[in-house]
A and B are shown apart, each in its own frame.
Chain A
Amino acid sequence: MKQRHSSSSSGVRPRRAFKLAAAALFFMALVWQHVQATRLGYQVEQARQRILALRCVNGALRMELESILSPAHLCALARGRMGMSLAAPESLRRLEASAPAGPRPGFLRHLISRTRQATLHT
């Protein structure tokens, strides 16, 4: 009888310890999750700020490019610096291509082999 009692109490103790350990693990997981969420929150916010900053830089550069390519700027450069003038319509002729304008089949391969040969020779 005594023996039976001691065996049952020794079985309860590990079970209780296991439960406590599981609860502690669960609690630690929650804490870890919270810490990770905060850490990732910092990272996301930093990345977001970086994206915004890069967007600002990109926007400024794009606008500079568009300003340079604006017709007024190009015209001023062409006329003022290069001495160009507008073409008269009668001085222009549009060439109508009778054959397809693209490269022939195998043209690119031919070009690469020729280039390679030329490189080898030099």
Chain B
Amino acid sequence: MRARLAVVAGLCLLPLAPLSVRLAHLQVMQHRRIADQVAGEVLRTTAEAPARADIMDRRGRLLARSVPFWSCFVERARIRDRPTLARVLARLLSLSNAEVLRKLQGRERFLCLKNELSDTEVSALAAAKLDNKKLIEHGVGVELRHRRFYPNQDLGSSVLGMVGTDHKGLSGLEMVFENRLQGRPRRLEYVRDGAGRAIYRSAEGTPAVPHPLRLSIDRDYQFHAEEVLREAAARFQARGGMVVVQDPATSEVLALAAIPSNALKNPVMQDIYEPGSTFKLVTAAAALEESLVSESETFFCENGTYEIAPGVFIHDHEPAADLTLQGIIEHSSNIGIAKVVERVGAARFYRYGRAFGFAIKTGIALPGETAGEMQPLARFNRVVLAAAAYGYGVGASALQVANAYSAVANGGTLYEPSIVADGRRPARVRRVVSENTARALSRMLEGVVERGTGTTARIPGYRVAGKTGTARKLDPRTGKYSESAYMASFVGFLPAGRPLWTILVVIDEPKGQYYGAQVAAPVFAKLGRRLLALAGAPPDQPAVPSGAVP
């Protein structure tokens, strides 16, 4: 009886044997492969990137921020009934039927229908159904994206740069600090159920949200720098212009304005120009530091015309006879400075030019910085040397010129200009001149504003030091200096007793007036007055009562 039962049971279970073998094969031998296959079909992995870091000014005010937004897209391959889908989506997204239809005609795999969806639009899309099926089954989805937002519009755009559609830095600080601004994404795992809803499974790692990048730029200074520059450029119908505001004690850049405004280019440190008479500072510094010229010594300035070599003439815009070094600087005498540089000599002049940072990159953390140009020492003859003494044949960036004047303002030390306020001490490059020489130079520059060519830069109640510069531009067609195109500039610092700011103003090709004193110095004074008012800096000079003759 028992044997019979065993046979019957065996016969009944026999068909299950191959099934058991197959099951064991799938569950044990093929387990990994099948599990991976299933995971590939239902399990989704996505990288959740944190928002790109903010960029702030020196006082923590926002300059750039990444703002998330929802974007609606459609997967073209999954569209079944185009007109019906267009009708539904047009209603949900507040778009016209024709517009949605036009967008659905696109050739891309994923068609973007609308960006910046509102909260209600996102909810409506999630709940909407088409032919008893959720929209997701018709290839409609929403995606979280980020947009880089600059709340001050174009303010400081040449410094900040821009990001591309992939939200990666293309220029400016956005490009230089790309790795610093981007956080570390975390991986999220989720599965989709039959209705297409996501079920969270796990997260790998914690999102590393990057800290804001704080700049040395002051938003208010930048705004005023750009505004006064724009006004001046409009008034003189200039081709462009640049303004640099630096803290002379540390060489921190407080404002860096350039017009025309371009987020892809920053001419302040990418372009060079011939600094003209503002370069006389280098010649004077070399002469004083090497004790080659005494303060009382005079130079004969040839009454305005000097034949330095046969057929080569130097002219002064203001003819003079005998001038001291102070007088040469105050009246911006080209002849006088040419005679001074003869005493300095080419080697010393070249050395001081380099010591002030010309023809060397300043090291600022902005892309594409130019080193500038100085003739090689071997090429210096009498004419080249004389021209270089008053800033011709020398190519400098606006930042280099401002930085050299900052060195004089702070007592003779050259610092590396910085744009990021990271709490580190300013990088000292070298001592260029002694404190005594820096003081003497500062007095000369004050004289320029008090009595010389730069009286239009005066600010009542404050001591101002500065130098005018007017340089003809090279005409690229003829290879000669133009008779009509000039670079007008003024660079100085204030208050001269305890300088708070070095300001450089350069106006490119002004129309009508073209002297630095007429075009750039008033812009300097205007900006200086605004900065003084913003900082509440007390006057350092007794003001002349109104109506009194100074």
A and B pair up: yes
Q: Which residues of chain A have a CB within 8 Å of any CB of chain B?
A: 38, 40-42, 44-45, 48, 52-53, 55-57, 59-60, 62-63, 66-67, 69-72, 75, 86-90, 92-94
Contact in complex: B68, A59 (CB < 8 Å): yes
Chain A residues near B199: list those with CB within 8 A.
38, 41-42, 45
Whether the Cβ atoms of A88 and B200 lie closer than 8 Å is: no
Are B461 and A42 neighbours in the complex by a CB distance under 8 Å? Answer: no
Chain A residues, Cβ within 8 Å of B69: 56, 59-60
A75, B532: Cα distance in complex, Å? 18
Q: How far is the CA of A44 from the CA of B48 in the complex (A)?
A: 15
- Whether A66 touches B151, Cβ cut-off 8 Å, given contacts A55-B68, A90-B460, is yes
CA A88 to CA B460, docked complex, whole Å: 10
Residues A88 and B153 in contact, CB atoms below 8 Å apart: no
Contact residue among A44, A53, A89 (Cβ-Cβ distance under 8 Å from B529): A89
Are B538 and A94 in contact (CB-based, < 8 A)?
yes
Q: Contact mask B126-144 → A, CB, 8 Å, 1/0? A: 0000000000000000001
SS class of chain A's interface: helix, strand, loop or mixed? helix
Residues in chain B near residue A90, CB distance under 8 A: 460-461, 539, 543
B155: which of A52, A57, A69, A70 is its contact (CB, 8 Å)? A70
The 5 closest A-B pairs by CB, nearest first: A66-B151, A89-B532, A59-B67, A41-B199, A44-B200
A53 and B155 CA atoms in complex are apart in Å by 29
* CB closest chain-A residue, reference B154: A72
Please report the C-alpha to C-alpha distance between residue A85 and residue B461 in the assembled complex, in whole angstroms: 20
Among A48, A52, A56, A89, the residue within 8 A (CB) of B539 is: A89
Given the complex of chains A and B, what is the CA–CA distance between A60 and B529 in angstroms? 36
Chain B residues near A75: list those with CB within 8 A. Answer: 223, 227
* Cβ B68 vs Cβ A71 within 8 A: no
Q: Which residues of B contact A94 (CB under 8 A)?
A: 536, 538
Q: Main SS of chain B's interface residues?
A: mixed
Choose among B152, B191, B459 the residue with the greatest number of A CB atoms under 10 Å from its CB. Answer: B152
- 10 more CB-based (< 8 A) A-B contacts, given A56-B67, A56-B68, A75-B223: A45-B199, A52-B144, A59-B67, A60-B69, A62-B65, A63-B67, A63-B151, A66-B152, A89-B462, A90-B543
**Given A53-B119, A56-B70, is A92 in contact with B536 using a C-beta cutoff of 8 Å?**
yes
Chain A residues whose CB sits within 8 angstroms of the CB of B460 once the complex forms: 90
Contacts of A45 in B (CB 8 A): 190, 197-200
Name the contact of B223 in the complex, choosing from A48, A60, A71 (C-beta under 8 A): A71
Q: Pull 12 A–B residue pairs with CB atoms less than 8 Å apart, ordered by A.
A: A42-B200, A53-B70, A55-B68, A59-B149, A62-B67, A66-B151, A69-B151, A71-B152, A89-B461, A89-B462, A90-B539, A92-B536
A114 to B135, CA, bound (A): 65
Mark B352-384 against chain A: 1 for CB-CB distance below 8 A, else 0.
000000000000000000000000000000000
Min CB distance B310 to A, Å, is 53
**B343 in contact (CB, < 8 A):** no
Interface size class of B (residues with CB under 8 A): 35 or more
Residues in A neighbouring B220, C-beta threshold 8 A: 71
Closest to A57 in B: B119
Q: Is the CB of A42 within 8 A of B68?
A: no
Nearest CB of chain A from residue B443's CB, rounded to whole Å: 23
> How far, in Å, is A93 (CB) from chain B's closest CB?
8
Report chain B residues within 8 Å CB of A86: 530, 533
Specify which chain B residues have a CB less than 8 angstroms from the CB of A67 in the assembled complex.
Answer: 151
Cα of A87 to Cα of B67 in the assembled complex, Å: 36
A86–B223 CA distance with the chains assembled, in angstroms: 13
Instruction: Identify the interface centre among B67, B529, B543: most chain A CB within 10 Å of its CB.
Output: B67
Pair A70/B530 contact, Cβ less than 8 Å: no
Chain A residues lying within 8 Å of B536, measured Cβ to Cβ, are: 92, 94
> Once the chains are docked, how many angstroms separate the CA of A71 from the CA of B144?
31
Contacts of B189-215 to chain A: CB distance below 8 A: 190-191, 197-201
Asked whether B331 is an interface residue with its Cβ less than 8 Å from the other chain, the reply is no
A48 near B153: Cβ-Cβ < 8 Å: no
Quote the shortest CB–CB distance from B467 to chain A (angstroms): 22
Cβ of B95 under 8 Å from chain A: no
**Residue of A60, A66, A88 touching B62 (CB-CB under 8 A):** A66
In angstroms, Cα B149 to Cα A53, docked, is 18
Residues of B within 8 A of A59 (CB): 65, 67-69, 149
B256 to chain A, nearest CB (A): 16
Q: Does B463 contact A (CB under 8 A)?
A: no
B62 cross-chain contacts in A, Cβ below 8 A: 66
Nearest CB of chain B from residue A119's CB, rounded to whole Å: 40
**Bound-complex Cα distance A87 to B224 (A):** 13
B155:A72 contact, CB within 8 angstroms: yes
Q: How far is the CA of A67 from the CA of B154 in the complex (A)?
A: 12
Given contacts A63-B65, A89-B529, A89-B533, contact A72 B539 (CB under 8 A): no
Which residue of A has the minimal Cβ distance to B151? Answer: A66
Residues of B within 8 A of A69 (CB): 151
Verify A41–B201 contact, CB threshold 8 A.
yes
Give Cα distance in the complex from A69 to B60, angstroms: 13
Q: Check B232 for interface membership: any CB of A closer than 8 A.
A: no
Q: Are the CB atoms of B461 and A70 closer together than 8 Å? A: no
Contact of B264 with A by CB under 8 A: no
- Are the C-beta atoms of A41 and B200 separated by less than 8 Å? yes
| Docked complex Cα distance between A72 and B153 (Å) | 9
CB distance from A10 to the nearest CB of B (A): 25
A44 to B532, CA, bound (A): 55
Closest chain-B Cβ to A107's Cβ sits at a distance in Å of 27
Within the complex, what minimum Cβ distance (angstroms) separates B304 from chain A? 38
B212-226 interface code vs A (CB 8 A; 1 in, 0 out): 000000011001000
Residues of chain B within 8 A (CB-CB) of A44 are 200
Chain A contacts for B538, CB-based, 8 A:
93-94
State whether B197 touches A53 (Cβ < 8 A).
Answer: no
B281 within 8 A of A: no
User: Nearest chain A CB to B79's CB is how many angstroms away?
Assistant: 25
Question: B195 → chain A, closest Cβ, in Å?
Answer: 11
Check: B537 CB closer than 8 A to any chain A CB: yes
CB contacts under 8 Å to A, within B68-89, are 68-70
